[in-house]
Every structure is written in structure tokens, then in C-alpha cells.
Amino acid sequence: MHPVQLFCWHFMAYPYLPDDFDARYDSGWVTVPNTLWDRDRAGELYQEYIDQLVYADELGFDGMVLNEHHQNIYGLMPSPNIIAAALTQRTKRGKIVVLGNLLPLHRNPLRVAEEYAMIDNMSGGRLIAGLAIGGGPEAFNYNVPQPQARGQFWEAVDLIKRAWTEPGPFEHEGKYYPLRYVNIWPQPRQRPHPPIWIPGALSLETMEETAKRGHDYFLSSRAHGPATKRAAQRFGEIIERHGGTFHPFRMGLLISVYVSESDEQARTESREGVWYFIKNTLKGHLRNQGRMLTFGVGVPSMTVTSYENFLKNARPEGKMLGDCDSWDELDAFGSIIVGSPATVRKRLWELIEQAQIGNLLIQFHFGNMQDKLARKSMRLFATEVAPALRRDSADLFGRNFPALGDAALAGAAQ
Amino acid sequence: MIRALDIAGHAVAVAEVGSGEPLVYLHGFADLHGSSSDYLPFHHGLAAKVRMVAPAHPGCNTSDENEEIDTIEDAVFHYLQVLDALGIGGCHLAGASIGGWIAAEIAIRIPERVRSLALIGATGLFVPQHPIADIFMMVQSKNGGDYSDFRHTLFRAADAPEALAMFPDGRMPAEREILRYRMFRFASRIGFAPPYLHDRKLRDRLHRFAGPAVVIAGERDNLVPLAHARAYAQGLRNAELKLVAAAGNSIAIERPNEAAAAVLACIDGAVAKAAVA
């Protein structure tokens, strides 16, 4: 039996912005002045957020997801590894998914290999090691030239894997990270190494490079619906072209959820947090209003060919998640699902059935959402949504992917 | 008008026009290759008097991108190869904006081959407390297609007619979008880190170039503070500083006649001096 894996993702947003933030500031990223940080109120914030992730573990989620961002209000984890280390001591069961460390921002990838190996040992082998390249805001945060970032990234990915699997010391003769002695202590607990997840936003280059190496792909794009299904099909085709076998657990997907007793109550309770998330934290990232920094001419990470395709396919000024202005638009966008257990179950089931993706990474806490509301939504999800999704998906995946019965693949799925 | 040169397996697009003294011109952002696939009035102004040879930087216009170019040093050695391939022993050298930076770096390395040097709104120097503006952030439009901050950075004002014509709001035709994208890929390679578009060591090396030079700067340059033009003029051994009124960083576009005249005057001066010698 291989049911869908349900993870709880926490971004750890900054919740104490002034009410007129959107009117007064161009961006929640890079240039957002840190004089807005309220030292008195924010002191307890990490504790509150860590407690919510511990609660997810108690509720039976399959894991907890963290990620790295810098100098912004969207996600307060410049080092997700520090939160991961805390979780190793407070949780017992769920995977700890760090998605991921932004490799081009690290001067030496061995530091990532070392810290991940520590977390893997400290957690009893529960680490899922996300390795990510970083987007436009991060390019500005750490002045990372984008045309070279991909080359740097893949060299670092390969070096980390070698550091975990090949006997040391050995020499790494890389272009970006030449090292005479690669010989990390500790080695990770999992064999041959912790699962490696690579996030991507629909670019074929990333899928290709991920598949070639046998790693798993996490779709970080907020464009759901048919695009998700297409992405899964493409990744499946690419894996098979490289001689691998596609199954739902080769891919993950980011989705956001708020559950309450009824659709109407869900909207009422989540209104403040959801719209704070959309209008404030996405400003500068996935919103045209203000200055969007995530991709474009100033942070030219795409090859010229990819950019040509982007111009062909994307409508000028096409809507992004942050441009949604009403609940209906939000519903149509498909990335944030707010409703009763039945509604949420139905929408997620459509997604699972359509895209056949086995790892759902779900955001429950939005912007300045109150702790008790985030917990309520998580609890209702765990008790009234998750069981049906697990049961139905196990049937579906069992029918469509009989190879999941193989021991080797089952190992990969776990 | 554009031919392709092969440099170590990479095509380099070279635009050449006019006859007379050879002038190698290295383009900037608002320029031939950087944002236009055709000559602009400034280039015709030069070509009326000299043989202008204008290669497109690696990756720009129809030049191949070169994955081996990561630093200004790589760009300079690329151009040394270009000069050799063109069979140009000695030449006049001019550059605008980022092209001015590269021109200055070439001149200090091979001063004996550079008969005169013209820097137009050149980036390249680190001047404490006078940072080069963040053109990379400014080219990210506001509110889904408002490029006024970008135009302001490259021109004297966001609503200057030449600025609006070259970089209008909204999506441009794909060909022009791609030209701009290619230009920024190149600029990012050599000039995104350290921020931005400079080499800390250049200033102390400027004295190596003792030939005739002109440093041309727009009085209303919003990309490169005027302190940089003064530092260039001071650091080069034999440079004249020429400030152009009512121009920003893209002087060659904003005041094409004046910019071309200043470059040509420097070339004339060098030629006359060489004749006397």
C-alpha cells in the first residue's frame, strides 16, 4: 500500500506588518526595511511556529517541510537547518524535509553536506534533503550572478552526493568548488544517502537534470490545474527516457489549504491570514503589483532559449497568485484551497487523480494567521480529510503503478 | 553589415561601417547590440569619419554565449582574441557604459595597441560612497510592465523621448525583448558580483594608460555617479573630462552628435600628435 504522503509545510511568515504595508511598500522581499521588525512581539515567533510543526507530527502528518529565504517577510528561515535541528529533538516520527538549502548562496557546498548529515543522524534518518538553486530575490540577497548559477548548482548537487556516498578523502576538481579534501564527518545515517529532492518551476532543463541523476522533483510552481498534470507527464517521460521508472513518489507538489466546518466558515476564519499572505508576503515575489523580483531580465537564470519559450507561452502581465483579488479568483487559480473537509477533500482528490503526484506538501499557516486557527485547520485536515485521501490514493496508485509492489521502488516511495 | 567571427569556437557578431582610422567600439545597454540590432545616429556619426568596428559582447545580439566568461578578466581576454582575429594591431578604442568599463580594462593591459581611448558613461570603477545604481533591480518592471525606473537609470529622465522609444512600458516585440535579455545575461556574468559593474582594482591601474583619452559623462547620469568620471579622468594619465548637459548614462543616444564629436576629437588629437611625433 502506497498512499499519498501528506506533509505540513511552514513558511514562517512575519506576521506583524502595519495595516498599510501594501500601500506603502513596493516589496516584501530584499528591500523591505527591517525597521518593521518588532523585537518585542517577534521574540516568541519561532517557538510558536516550531510548536505548530510539532503538532503536525503529533497529528500524524508524514513530515514537516521547511525552506530557505533571506531578507524578506515571506519566510523567516535564512537557515532552515536550525529549525530542522530543533525538530529532531521535538518530533519522533515524521520526515524532516528541508526544501531546500540554496546551494549557490553557500560558498562551500560541503557545509550543506555536513549539516544535512548531522540532521540525518540527529533525527534517526528522517531527513529529506532538498537542494535548491534560489530565485531572483535570493540573487539580490547574496549577489549571485544568475547565468552561472545553474552550473554552480549542479556541480554542488553532485559534490554533495559524492561526499555522502564515496569513500573519502577524495579530491573534487570542480570549476566552481575545487577542493583537495572531501572527507566529511559525519556521514548521513540513511543509505546510500538521504532522498534528494530538487525543486523546479516547470523548466524542462531542471526536470532533465534531476531525472538524469535519479533524484526526485518537487514542483514549486503555484500554477496548478492542467499545468501540474503536464509537468508530471513530462517528468515521467524524461525519467523513462533516462531508463528510470516513474511513480507518484518521484514528485511533490506545493499546495495551500485551510479547512473549517463549512466553506463559509473556512473563508471567514482564514480571511485575514490568507489575504495578508497574498497581498503582503507575495509582493515582490508572485505578484505584479509592486516590483516582482522572482524572474526576469534582471535575474536572467533562464537560458535564452527558455526565455524565448517563456515569452511565447506567457501572456504579458499574466496573473500570478498574488494578483488574485477575490475568493472566486483564488478558487479558480487552484493553489489555495479554502473550504469544508468535503470541499478540500474533493479538490485535492481531483489534483491527485489528475496529476498522479504522491507527495503533497501543504501549507496550513498563512501570513499572520492566529495559532489556534492554523491548528484547527491542521486538526480537521488530519482527521476528516487525510484518511480518505490516503485510502483512495493507495487504491489509485496501486492500480496505475503496479511496479510500486517491487521492493526497490517501495523503498524509494518510503 | 554584421559578420560573424569565430573566436575559440564561438561566433562573435561584428558590425563594421565607415573607413579610415580603425575605431573599436564596445557597446552599452542602450546601444547597438545591447538593445538595437541596427546602427543608431551616433554610430553613423562615427562612421562618417572613421572605420567603426563594433563587436557584440559574448551572448549579445547574434554573438554566441560563452559559458567560460565569468569575470571581467575573461571578457578582456576574449577581446584580445577578437582584436587579433580582426587583424587590428593598433586602434582607437571607445566604449559606452559597461562597454566603457571593458575598454578601460583593455587599455591598461595593452596600452601600446590603443591609440586613443574614449569612455562614455563608463562603469568599471569602485568609488566609495558613490555606488553604481542597481540596474538589475531597476530592469524588473513595476506593476507588471512599468519600466520607468529602468529608463530613469539609463537616461537623464524616465520620460525622455529616446528612452520611451527604446524601452517602452509593457512587452516589446520578442526580438527586442531577447536583445535586452541577452545583454543582461552578459552584464550579469561579469558585473552582478560584486555589485555592480566594476572592478575594485581598476582605479589603481589606470595610470598604465598614458595615451590620449576622453572621459565623457552625462551631467544627469543616474547609473554612474559623476564622481566616477572624475576618477577616470584623474587616474588616466592624459585624459580630458567632458560633461554633457541634458544627458544621462546613454549619452550616445541622448546627445548623439555631441557624443560622436567628442570621440572623434579625441581620435583627431591622437592622430595629429602621432603625426608630429
What is the DSSP annotation of A235-271?
HHHHHHHTT----GGGEEEEEEEEE-SSHHHHHHHHH
Beta carbons of A293 and B140 less than 8 Å apart: yes
On whether any CB of chain B is under 8 Å from the CB of A290, the answer is: yes
The reply to whether residue A292 touches residue B141, judged by beta carbons under 8 angstroms, is yes
Lowest mean pLDDT of A218-222, A291-295, B8-12, B100-104, name the range: A218-222
Return the residue of A nearest to B183 by Cα.
A297
Residue A154: HSE in the Cβ half-sphere, 13 Å Cα cutoff = 13
Residue B30 CA to residue B15 CA, distance in Å, equals 16
Query: Which residue in A30, A292, A300 is closest to B188 by CB distance?
Result: A300
Beta-strand ranges (E) seen in chain B are: 2-7, 10-17, 22-26, 51-55, 91-96, 114-120, 213-218, 239-244
Name all domains of chain B by residue range, CATH numbers in brackets: 2-276 (3.40.50.1820)
What is the distance between the alpha carbons of residues A341 and B93, in angstroms, rounded to a whole number?
71
Euclidean distance between CA atoms A340 and A327, whole angstroms: 14
- pLDDT tens digits for range B202-253: 999 999 999 999 999 999 999 999 999 999 999 999 999 999 999 999 999 9
Query: pLDDT digit string (tens) for A240-277?
Result: 999 999 999 999 999 999 999 999 999 999 999 999 99
Q: Say whether A61 sits in a helix, a strand or coil.
A: coil
Distances (CA, A) of A392 to A15, A60, A349, A355, A411: 36, 17, 8, 14, 21
Q: Do A146 and B192 touch (CB under 8 A)?
A: yes
Query: Is A297 in Cβ contact with B178 (below 8 Å)?
Result: no
b/e map of A313-338 (b: 16 or more CB within 10 Å)? eeeeeebbbbbbeebeebeebbbbbb
Structural domain count, chain A: 1
pLDDT average, residue stretch A23-37: 97
Using one digit for the tens of pLDDT, what is the confidence trace for A290-340? 999 999 999 999 999 999 998 998 776 678 999 999 999 999 999 999 999
- Decide if B71 touches A, using CB distance below 8 A: no
A304 CB neighbour count, 10 Å cutoff: 15
pLDDT by residue (tens digit) across B65-74? 999 999 999 9
User: Would you give the DSSP letter of residue A281?
Assistant: I
pLDDT at site A1: 85
* Confidence label for A177 from pLDDT (cuts 50, 70 and 90): very high
Q: Which of residues 310-329 of A touch B (CB under 8 A)?
A: 311-312, 316-317
Contact criterion met (CB < 8 Å) for A298 and B70:
no
- Out of B137, B142, B195, name the one closest to residue A290 (CB): B142
What pLDDT is recorded for position A407?
53
Contact A304 B193 (CB under 8 A): no
* Cβ-count burial A84-114 (b if 16+ within 10 Å, e if not): bbebbeebeebbbbbbbbbbbbbeebbebbb
Average pLDDT score, chain A = 95
Structural domain range at position A311: 5-413
pLDDT for A409 equals 57
Model pLDDT, residue A411 = 44
pTM of this structure: 0.96
pLDDT tops 60 at residue A154? yes
Confidence of residue A414 (pLDDT cuts 50, 70, 90): very low
Q: Which residues in chain A are contacts of B193 at CB distance < 8 A?
A: 143-145
**What percentage of chain B has pLDDT greater than the value 70?**
100
Q: Kindly report the CATH number assigned to the domain that includes residue A314.
A: 3.20.20.30
Quote the radius of gyration of chain B (alpha carbons, Å). 17
For residue A151, which residues of chain B lie inside 8 Å, CB to CB? 67
pLDDT in tens, A81-109: 999 999 999 999 999 999 999 999 999 99
CB-CB under 8 Å, A311 with B174: yes
**Min distance B157 CA to chain A CA atoms (Å):** 19
What is the dihedral sign for C-alpha A185, A190, A193, A199?
negative
B interface test, pick of A107, A283, A286, A297 with most B CB neighbours within 10 Å = A297
Which residue of chain A comes nearest to B136, CA vs CA? A298
> Does A293 lie at the interface with B, CB-CB under 8 angstroms?
yes
Residue with cell 492566529: A370
Question: Is the separation of the CB atoms in A80 and A406 below 8 Å?
Answer: no
Which chain B residues touch A146 with a CB distance below 8 Å? 188, 192
A148 CB neighbours in chain B (<8 A) are 70, 189
Amino acid A408: pLDDT: 55
Best of B63, B65, B143, B223 to substitute, by most chain A Cβ atoms within 10 angstroms, is B143
Phi/psi of residue B48, nearest 5 degrees: -65, -25
What confidence tens digit (pLDDT) does each residue in B90-144 have?
A: 999 999 999 999 999 999 999 999 999 999 999 999 999 999 999 999 999 999 9
